[in-house]
Structure formats: C-alpha cells, structure tokens
Structure 1
Amino acid sequence: MGRPRIKDVAEYAGVSPKTVSNVLNDYEHVSDRTRTVVREAIDALGYRVNIAGRQLRRGRTGMIALAVPDLDIAYFAELAHHIMLEAERRGGTVLILETGGRREREIAAVQGFDAEFTDGVILSPLALRPRDLARRDTRLPLVLLGECNPPGSADHVAIDNVAAAREATEHLLSRGRRRIAVIGGALRGPRNTGRLRTMGYQKALDAADVPLSDDLVVPVPAYRWADGASAARALMRGPEPPDALLCLNDHLALGAVRALHEDGWSVPKDLDVVGFDDIEATRYSIPTLTTVAPDKPGIAQDAVGMLLDRIDSVNADSGKADAAAVEKVAGHRLLVRESSGG
C-alpha cells in the first residue's frame, strides 16, 4: 500500500476530504467529535502531511533542513555553521541532520524526511543514485552540495574540484616534486569528489610530462585521520616512497603528517603534504598545512539563496518549481603554508 492520502483518511473516518483538511489546519468550526474521529483515522493509517502540498497552500514555515554525512568531519561542521549564519541573516532557521553517508538516509532527505515543518532541503550526498533523484517530488525545493549528482537533477553548488586539484599538484611540481601520491584518490569509477580531484592531479602531471604511477593513487576506506595515517605509512614503507602527498581532505592530510612524524620523516624537508578544505586545525598543526580552501561562506550564500528562490517559486505557484536546475561554481584558493615550504 502506498503512502496514505487525505482521501484515504476521509474514507476511513467517514467524512469528506474537506473536513480532514479543516482538522489538519486547525479550523475552529469543527466539532470535537469529528476532530477526534479524524485524528484517530490519521493515527490508524499513519498519515503524514505532504510537505510540498502544504507549502503550496500556506507558504513558508521559515525552517530549512541541512543534511550532511558526518558532523565530526570538520569541513561539514564548518560549512553547517556558515549555512546557519546565512539562513539566520535571511530570517530562517536550519534543522541539521546527519546521514552517515547512508543511501536510505539521503533518500529520506530528498523526500524532506516526511516532516511537515521544513520548506526545503540542502543535501550533501555520498551514496545517492541518479534514479533516487529522478523519482523525487520536484515541488520540494532541493539544493545539492558536492559531486554526487547527475547534471540537471537539482540545483547544485560545488567548487571546481578538477581545477583545484590541478592547482595543488602544479604547486607541488613547481617545488621539484615528481613522485606525488594521492591519498583518497580514484583512477576510475563514478565522477564523485575523489575521482574529480584525481582527474585534476592527472591533468597537472600530463601537462608537466610526468608519468602517472597507478601505485601512487591510494584509495581509502573513509576520509578520516586514521585512514590518512595508514595510507601514509604504507606508501613510505614501500620500495619507492613518494616525495609529496596530495591528500583529498585535511583529515587525511593531518593523519598523514602525524604518522610521518612518528616514523621519523620530516615535513617538508623529506616530502611535502597538501590537503583540501582549510579546516581550522590546519592553521595550528605543526607544520601548518598547505590546503585548498573552498569558499565556504560563498557556498553557504549560494546554497541558501538558491533554496529560498526555489521556495518562493513553489509558494507563488509560479510554475518555476520545475524550472531547469541551476548550477553554481563556488570559488577556491590554494593556501601555501609550512607543509610545502610556505
């Protein structure tokens, strides 16, 4: 059986759909008996208010949802902070939820978590599939962050990961590094963040006529401190250690730096290390970490602005809710610090 509708509740309670709507909207001219019968039918059927339908009838609630994989990854915590500030500046409130990168939780986010109090969703997905987005109700405003989305499926904000990784790799090449390893990289597979950043790395090597060694592209189970430490140790204990590490987030990079220190390697004397995301810890590590800094305030401004525009379109019933998805590229910059000679 599919999701119950107002019509189903009305039939169960023996009243008209209009009466059910009146109860849901707390209209005062409904008898206590009728209200009780309708509420019992709602509970029995497990009916939940349709978010998009309520938006069309009543306008904004002022609440938006932000769904990210893990708040203990500093990048997502810092990005959430900026999104909250931007929403507050525009008079809104943010409900923050963790998906754990699980597909079922990301699907729930695309559907608005079956909640009746959010106007729209900003989602940073890891496991979402194209068909999950194809099945969504486009009347629920959605903005995607990162790279796990098919083009045109929803409004989208991200940095140019290919260009950013190419710039970081070119910096390492300019310092004479030639055996540059990528921790968290992927030479094939879906065009997710890791794959795109590896593509940028490849472009830089090709332009410098430096051959690509498959053994220097190292996948990791997750983008956490311990994964970076394990990958760095394995690389440095191999027959031909790298002379630089391009780590695809700062957690990997800082974990690698710690492991290198424990094993007697000096950064940047023996090898350079570069990360991604410019989390606050990178400014206080020893050595301070060279990193690619996404424009987190800019991402927040774009994401919240795009979502509110889409919410306004739905509330105005302007026909723009189904308009073509908007794509925005946020800025980034390479911050050269001590870990690569800065």
Structure 2
Amino acid sequence: MVTMGDVARLAGVSKMTVSNVVNNRAGVSEAVRLRVLEAIRQSGYRVNVSARTLKSGRTGVIGLAVPEIDRPYFGRLAAHVIDQARRRGFHVAIEQTGAAADGEIDAIAHSRTLQFDGLILSAVELDRRDQRLAGADYPIVMLGEQDFGGRFDHVAMPNEDGTKAATAHLIDRGCRRIAMVTGDVAGTLNVVTRRHQGYLAALAERGLTPDPALLVSLAGLTMAAGRDAAHRLVDSGHAFDGVVAVTDTVAQGVLRGLADRGLRVPGDVRLVGFDDVPESEFMVPSLSTVAPDHGWMAAKAVELVVGRMQAPLRPTGQHVAPFELMIRESTS
C-alpha cells in the first residue's frame, strides 16, 4: 500500500508537507502543492479517511444541500461555498433536495450517515415542527426563508427589503402600473411570499394601490413560465408600465415574452429582477436586479457551521445578507 512517506519521497518534500496538502492547510506554495498532487496522482495514494476521522473526530467534509443544482443562483452559491470551505480546510459534498421536505430530511440523514462535519441546507419546504428534525443535533446552518424558531443558525436573503427597493426604483423611474410576476403568494412562508410583501410595501409607501390583475402567478420559477406570464399579462389588456420579476431567471423569460408581443424594454415596459445571476449583465437589454451579496452569504454560512463544530452549545443567530440594486438598461 502506498504511504504518505512514499508520496513525500516522490515529490521531494517532507511528510508534513504532504499532510498539509492533503488536508488543504495554509503555508504551502502553489508550486509545491501542485508537485505533491502530481505525486499523489502518479503513486495512486489514497487517504485513509476512517483513520483520519478516528484521530481527529472529523472527515473534513461539509455537506451543501440545495433545491436544484441546475439553477444559476444555486450554482453560484455552491461555487462560493466551495471557495470559502477550502479556505478553512474543508471539502464540500453537494446534494439536491428537489425543494421537498422529504429531500431536505434525507439530506440531513445522509450527512450524518456519511459523517460530514456539518451541513449547510437551503430549506424550502421543511417545517420546524417536523418530528423528523429530532435527530438534527449536529452542526447545521439553514439558508432560505423558513423560520426554525432559533433552533439552527440561519442565513437569509434580503427578500423583503430587496424587492421593496426594486419596486421603489421602478416608481422613481415613472412607473405607476407595476406588475409582479411570481409564484403562489398564497402559499406558506417562502421566497415568493416574502418578495411579494416587499413589492406591496413599496407600493403602499408611495401611495399606490396594488391591482390584483397585475399579479401574475407561475407554476414554476423558470424562463418558460416567465415568457408565458408575459404573454398572459399583455393579452389580458390591462395596462402596465413596469414588471417586478421574482427572480432573474423568470425575468429572462418575461423579457422574451414581452418581445413576442411587440413590447420594448425599457421603451414600453421597465423590468427588474432579483438575484443578479451572471447572465443578467449580458442580456440585451442588460437586466436591472437586486444583487444580494452571495459571497457574504457563503462566507457567513461556512463561518457559522465551522463555529458550531467548535462550540456546539453557543446560541444560534439569524443573519440577513446585505444587497445592492444593480441599475442597468432594462430600467434606464
């Protein structure tokens, strides 16, 4: 069996250096790190995870469970979490929950079975009263809109404040008939209902009455659903001069749908999204959007889950990400 000493001799470094590289510790130059990794590849060396776990009590792995990997927002979040975890010497294992309570419970169970050191979970449907949470007694940080009553550390998006700022921006641009393209606002507490509250708050603050005809609900938060919503909105015959889309992905579909009906953005309708996914800056027109600080959220989540490993009994906390309103061509 190939040992760490064999790798050290092949790379021309000490065993400690190999250990530092394997455990992703600081203090190793990039050139040396690459030499050690090449020696590991050539030798076929494999880390004895069981032995390392017994010795340190940790596997060096943090779980990240998100609703859907193929959404731009969650891909971006995962990249940030991986970067922040690496800086602290951890690897990240990613799981998809399907935005369902069963999937979210499974992610918690799998993280324990696989002996992850902690879990960052973007919860959509999981309820704090769910009896299956009884075994969730190891480091977990919740992302998303659900309220777990202080049971877990929680990092939240600026949903209400961000959407309120986006809606107020449209009003400042002269819009008075502002539609919202979103999900089911009559549902449980989630990203859709929170962003809808921000929209209503901005209208109320500026003395505008929301028109139920301008609230367009979607079956799913996809580009196709956004395009269909824009078609329905235009075909309804109700006048509108602005649109708040619940996400940038939906906004991309709305832009396509408005173009299908011969409406120009921003000439006829101004459009704003939420999330600031990378594609937003490169759309034609480029999309004005609420930009939560994704890097801050990832750094805070990793900081909290690692802190929970070190101090399991410390009080939990809720943290809301800062945001910036990115003003681009779609509202200019």
Report the TM-score, using the length of structure 1 for normalisation. 0.78
Instruction: Note the C-alpha offset of 1:174.
Output: 0.6
Corresponding residue number in structure 1 for 2:192: 194
What corresponds to 1:255 in structure 2? 253
C-alpha contact (below 8 Å) 2:128/2:149 kept by paired residues = no
Aligned to 2:316: 325
Work out the CA distance in 2 between the residues paired with 1:213 and 1:133. 40
Cα pair 1:185 1:217 within 8 Å, conserved: no
Alignment of 1:55-204 (within 5 A): 59-132=57-130, 135-204=133-202
1:305 and 2:296 aligned: no
Could you say if the C-alpha distance between residues 180 and 133 of structure 1 is closer, same or farther in structure 2, counting changes exceeding 3 Å? farther
Map Cα deviations across residues 260-300 of structure 1 (whole Å, 9 max, x no partner).
Answer: 11221100000011011001111111000000001000000
**Do residues 211 (structure 1) and 202 (structure 2) align?**
no
CA shift at 1:134, angstroms?
7.1
Distance of 1:133 and 1:193 partners within structure 2: 23
The answer to whether the 8 A contact 2:276-2:289 is kept is yes
How far 1:155 sits from its partner (Å)? Answer: 0.6
1:226 pairs, out of 201, 217, 224, with 224
Change (3 A) 1:141 1:274: same
- SS of 1:298's equivalent in the other structure is helix
Aligned-partner Cα distance in 1 for 2:94–2:246:
25
> What is the Cα-based RMSD across aligned positions, in Å?
1.9
1:55·1:119 contact (CA, 8 Å) conserved in 2? Answer: no
Alignment check: 8 A CA contact 1:111 1:140 kept? no
Would you say the 8 A contact 2:157–2:320 is kept in 1? yes
Q: Give, in whole Å, the separation in 2 of the partners of 1:55 and 1:329.
A: 34
Aligned length: 281
C-alpha distance in structure 2 between counterparts of 1:139 and 1:185, whole Å: 33
Gaps of 5+ in 1: 1-53, 315-319
SS of 2:79 mapped into structure 1: helix
1:335 to 307, 326, 331: 326
One-letter amino acid of the counterpart of residue 325, structure 1: T
CA distance in 2, matches of 1:258, 1:218: 16
